[in-house]
Structure 1
Amino acid sequence: MSAGLPISVAALGAAAGTVAPWLATRFAVAPPESTAATAAPLAAAVPAGAGPGTTPTRPLPSARRRAPTCAVVGAVVFGGLGVAPGVGAALPAFLAVAALGLVLAVVDLGCLRLPDPLVGAAALAAVAGLVAAASVAGRPDRLLGPLAGAALSFTGYALLALLPGSRLGFGDVKLAAVLGLPLGWLGWPTLLTGLVLPHALHGLAVLGLLAARRVRRDTLLPLGPALLAGTWIAALLG
């Protein structure tokens, strides 16, 4: 593979990352009153005084501050997918999900929510891209893997969300199901890695934040970024 594709893809990722914080402000609202007291102050996505249901109508200062960081993250994420084994003709589907994932991560970090419109858009992008890739390859049977991956991811996370005392929200369940589509395309080993790895990443993040006294034991933390990061790493491992 020439270096041109990864570099071009990374540049596209930088552009997607730059735009992500501004798009996120359209979906950023204050955390629900029931969770606001224990929500982690990891990001200031909502202006002071904004209440539940308040949607910003212009880019927030925090979006400008986050744009450079998100651009770097986008370049790394897209560049990694550009060289990930097994992606092949499905690369546009993976990149579309990654672009929407950047926005979802910013929103989840800021307000502990994964908006259905963004998750639904990621699902449509994944399905359309994978169907196109299977058609180009003349392998419609390859769609069985993504469908099975989505079903398994949804079932597993739904059961976890229903456990007594679970802090897993159904936004996380729906996002996991969407991410099961590209993971299933890459095969069962990658799918299983992508199901387990987010919990390991989330656990490490919680331990680090507790050690740094950034959060308390009862602080609610977003799982969406860990789901997205775990899926990305699983794709890289192939």
Structure 2
Amino acid sequence: MSLAVVAPVSACLLGLIVGAYARAFADGFGEHPDAPLREARDALARATRITPLPRRPFVVEIVMAGVFGLVTWRSASGTGGPAAGVGGGVGAGVTLMTAALLYAAAAGVTLSVIDWRTRRLPDVITLPSYPALAVLLAPTGRLGVALLCGLALGAAYAVLWFVRPAALGLGDVKLAGLVGMVTGAAGVNAVILAAVGAHVLGALYAVGLLITGRATRTTEFPFGPFMLGAALLAVVLPVT
């Protein structure tokens, strides 16, 4: 069996375990913490005490497994995705990009779960992810363009936040820089797809809420999951 098959399957199995930890960690975050650092410490302690097995309703574990499998498949394929941008070939794609993509996947799914439930994107996850991604992307030779794209997308979201602070939170601005870094390693077109795709996905969700009568024009909803979903599409799809 080829590495292009074994690697994604193995990543899916790893994702089930990581997803169990991610769900326990995310459960430790509330809407209005009195002490964010203590909250994060307690959430981490809680996560490390669990048995890393999927639990009902299995949603986080399944999503994490699927995302792990997708990004590993794209890296291992070596064509049209991030792997192609760092030299192509199965071996090159796996060794240079997979670690960064898997870290981004784990952090992204965890942030999506927290944001969807609490409408927060905790700094204790987003801010340390900048140096973590920088270290992981450095061996790919794409760190420079990743940093530039992260700065550009973060600046664009900062302008949007300044113009309409009610529509975006500062957490979204900080997340935008990470999205720009990850997609920037895949190419500038991937950054554009992630930026546009986030607003398209968010708009479709808002229209769906309006049509079903579950929201009004003034209803607010977390935007982070749509940013991260669009980033996943930008990394996985063969953008040229």
TM-score normalised by the chain length of structure 1: 0.79
Measure the CA separation in 2 of the matches of 1:14 and 1:211: 35
1:165 CA displacement: 6.0
State the distance in 2 between where 1:149 and 1:27 align.
30
1:94 matched to 2:107? The reply is: no
Q: Is the 8 A contact 1:97 1:125 kept in 2?
A: no
CA shift for structure 1 position 163: 1.1
Q: Which runs of 5+ in 2 are unaligned?
A: 48-53, 75-80, 84-92
Which runs of structure 2 are paired with 1:98-117 in the superposition (5 Å)?
98-117=105-124
User: After the TM superposition, which of the residue ranges 196-205 and 77-86 deviates more from structure 2?
Assistant: 77-86
Deviations 1:71-92 (A, max 9, x none): 1111111111012222321110
Report if the CA contact (8 A) 2:5-2:73 is conserved: no
Q: Does 1:10 align with 2:40?
A: no
Q: 1:210-221 to 2 correspondence within 5 Å?
A: 210-221=210-221
Shift in CA distance, 164/121, structure 1 to aligned 2, threshold 3 Å: closer
Q: Distance in 1 between matches of 2:19 and 2:6?
A: 20
Do structure 1's residue 120 and structure 2's residue 127 form an aligned pair?
Answer: yes
If asked which structure has higher relative contact order (CA below 8 Å, sep 6+), I would say 1
Q: What is the TM-score normalised by the length of structure 2?
A: 0.79
Q: How many residues align?
A: 206
SS at match of 2:221: coil
* Root-mean-square deviation over aligned CA pairs: 2.1
Match of 2:169 in 1: 169
State the identity as a percent: 32
Write out aligned runs for 1:43-122 (5 A).
53=34, 65-66=56-57, 68-84=58-74, 85-87=81-83, 88=93, 89-122=96-129
Match of 1:113, SS state, is coil
List per-residue Cα deviations over 1:91-131 (Å, max 9, x = no partner): 10111111011111111011111000110232232111101
Distance 1:13 1:193, change over 3 A: same
Return 5+ residue gaps in structure 1 as ranges. Answer: 31-51
